[in-house]
Structure 1
């Protein structure tokens, strides 16, 4: 199996400086490096750097995959928009963990498919996932809950581990959250079981008019401070803080009292029910197809009735061609003749004609083999 690894990094809050781009170029001569990204793939070598260090120094998002089955996503957020303890409360295993720098908290999520040997042609997929970072910065905790579910799915938690606070909207994930779940192979049955206790999302974001009225009421000093921070490149932090201030105290989500083991059991029950429904549908479809085939054959037999002599002549003509496809067509017609004889209670005549046919063509082994396999003896 050939090795394949894909690395993609994105800088969101601040572009890379020329010095930083030079530092990265010194580690990779063939990577695609821009002020906002680093992309490279490897079939024989590997990245000459530590993604953990790169996330601390340069980037806000990181995606990695290997064709032996590893999928990994890392996201970096300023400490002002995501509390380190909150991140640690959800990221509690090997599949999802977090760490803190002086200025940021970094989430690291990964899964491993033992089957491996997968190739991924749709590069730059991180672009479809990275908006979850802005959702999390605005106070949406669904990403954190998915991280916890990833640990549950990996059987990394005790069965009695209590469920953390449940955010609203688990049953109605955004496009970026769905893309993240797909990339990390999150079990849809486990997610559906968890979503049963998740309240619906609040109404859409506030209107521009409502925000405008609120901004006009802000003290001048607060506006000046926010503007200064924006000019210093703190867009994400400032936006998140102002939106939280506009919305008032955050809703305190609580756990449902469920445990990791109970969620796994509920997911298994959902899977079993889906399998049962699928099996019933398949069985119903098989019966429908069999009924259609039986009706079609009955129609063929009705059309064949009274024309047996002509049918035997057609069989003889097809055999004389000595072509495999004609042999196959002859066998189909002979089966219909046998079924018609059984329906009419005249199998003796059919058996005699088949015996004569076999004797006449005994030196055609391909034909005789087809007659044997069709039980036309």
Structure 2
């Protein structure tokens, strides 16, 4: 099997100017480059630049995968978005690069064992902007997911701040992340149990209020925003917030409560049992809903059985493969409906008449051999 590598990077805040696009073109002559994106794949060879350097200089989100199982997701944040205390644990799956302006988080998988292709990459890429917004707005659960994944293999893992995030209700993008990175859901549940029984810090997630933010701006800040808007032709919410940020950075945040391996370990067995029960309950509910829907459908078919018999005969009289296929589908549905209503004898009589009427249509009867 030949090598295959896929790269996609996107700028969410502002545009890539002509100089930036020219620099990117020098890195790859075959890449698809627009005012906001850079995308390229290689069957042989590799990108002529370090992806993390491209991210820090040009882009806000990115994704890479190779067909031998490596995956990297990139999310760039303003410097100080995440406190140093939260990023102090050793992990093979989370890497951090910083410069004077930004923090770059790289979420890595060295070996992804499931089948993965460009369509899967595009499907996950659509969640990266929302995951980045969440991190910037104070939802730092992605870091905890990676801590839990590391804890799965290293019970001596370094501590991190214990902050009251909601690990019982995951949004769509968080679920996509835990699925791709194979985060043990029992560990997530155990963390939720820890937070219920131990003191923790309140999360600093705040709902953005536009009017409050606008009225807090000085004239010089408003002028700076307008100037940037005219220069770039675009100004995203995150750009505007970063340019007018007044609160202190999180880098030197002081924490009193910490999550440790010893703290979460006693909850693992209970969490696994609860998760198994929840999954069994969810499966039972799903099967019950499917059964109810199937019974409703069969009841509808039985109530409209005369129309189904008529349609089956009309399709048979088309004397073509598609007509026979449709007639066969109608008859199999009728069989299930009569069976569900315990009226098999009536079906047998009607079906016998149908066979007699279509006795010369051997191709149709072959499709009905399991009902004969």
Corresponding residue of 1:98: 96
Alpha-carbon distance in structure 2 between the residues aligned to 1:299 and 1:231: 78
Where 1:30 maps in the other structure, the secondary structure is coil
Corresponding residue of 2:116: 118
Corresponding residue of 1:238: 243
Where 2:165 maps in the other structure, the secondary structure is coil
Indicate whether 1:27 and 2:32 are aligned.
no
Corresponding residue of 2:207: 205
Structure 2 counterparts to residues 114-263 of structure 1, below 5 A: 114-121=112-119, 123=122, 125-152=124-151, 155-158=152-155, 162=159, 164-197=161-194, 205=207, 207-212=209-214, 214-215=216-217, 224=220, 228=224, 235-239=240-244, 241-242=245-246, 254-255=257-258, 259=263, 261-262=265-266
| Alignment CA distance shift 1:196-1:328 (3 Å) | same
Where 1:25 maps in the other structure, the secondary structure is helix
Where 1:29 maps in the other structure, the secondary structure is coil
- CA displacement 1:319-351 (0-9 Å, x = unmatched): xx9x99989999988xxxxxxxxxxxxxxxxxx
Q: Which moved further from structure 2: 118-127 or 32-41?
A: 118-127
Where 1:130 maps in the other structure, the secondary structure is helix
- Asked if the contact 2:95/2:107 (under 8 Å) is kept, the reply is yes
- How many pairs were matched up? 313
Alpha-carbon distance in structure 2 between the residues aligned to 1:179 and 1:43: 27
Alpha-carbon distance in structure 1 between the residues aligned to 2:158 and 2:82: 23
- CA displacement 1:66-125 (0-9 Å, x = unmatched): 334333212222324444x13523x53001121333432221112255534322326375
Shift of 1:57: 3.1
Structure 2 counterparts to residues 1-377 of structure 1, below 5 A: 1-83=1-83, 85-89=84-88, 92-121=90-119, 123=122, 125-152=124-151, 155-158=152-155, 162=159, 164-197=161-194, 205=207, 207-212=209-214, 214-215=216-217, 224=220, 228=224, 235-239=240-244, 241-242=245-246, 254-255=257-258, 259=263, 261-262=265-266, 264-274=268-278, 276-277=280-281, 300=344
Consecutive unaligned residues of structure 1, counting only runs of 5 or more, are 217-222, 308-313, 334-377
- Asked if the contact 1:31/1:39 (under 8 Å) is kept, the reply is yes
Question: Taking structure 2 as the reference length, what is the TM-score of the superposition?
Answer: 0.61
Alpha-carbon distance in structure 2 between the residues aligned to 1:193 and 1:326: 58
- Asked if the contact 1:138/1:243 (under 8 Å) is kept, the reply is no
Rg larger for: 1
| Alignment CA distance shift 1:264-1:147 (3 Å) | same
- Asked if the contact 2:73/2:108 (under 8 Å) is kept, the reply is yes
Consecutive unaligned residues of structure 2, counting only runs of 5 or more, are 197-201, 233-238, 295-335
Corresponding residue of 1:360: none
Alpha-carbon distance in structure 2 between the residues aligned to 1:87 and 1:141: 9
- Asked if the contact 1:55/1:62 (under 8 Å) is kept, the reply is yes
Question: Taking structure 1 as the reference length, what is the TM-score of the superposition?
Answer: 0.60
- CA displacement 1:284-336 (0-9 Å, x = unmatched): 99x999xx99x8798658999xx9xxxxxx9xx9xxx9x99989999988xxx
Shift of 1:31: 0.9
- Asked if the contact 1:157/1:260 (under 8 Å) is kept, the reply is no
Q: Which moved further from structure 2: 194-203 or 93-102?
A: 194-203
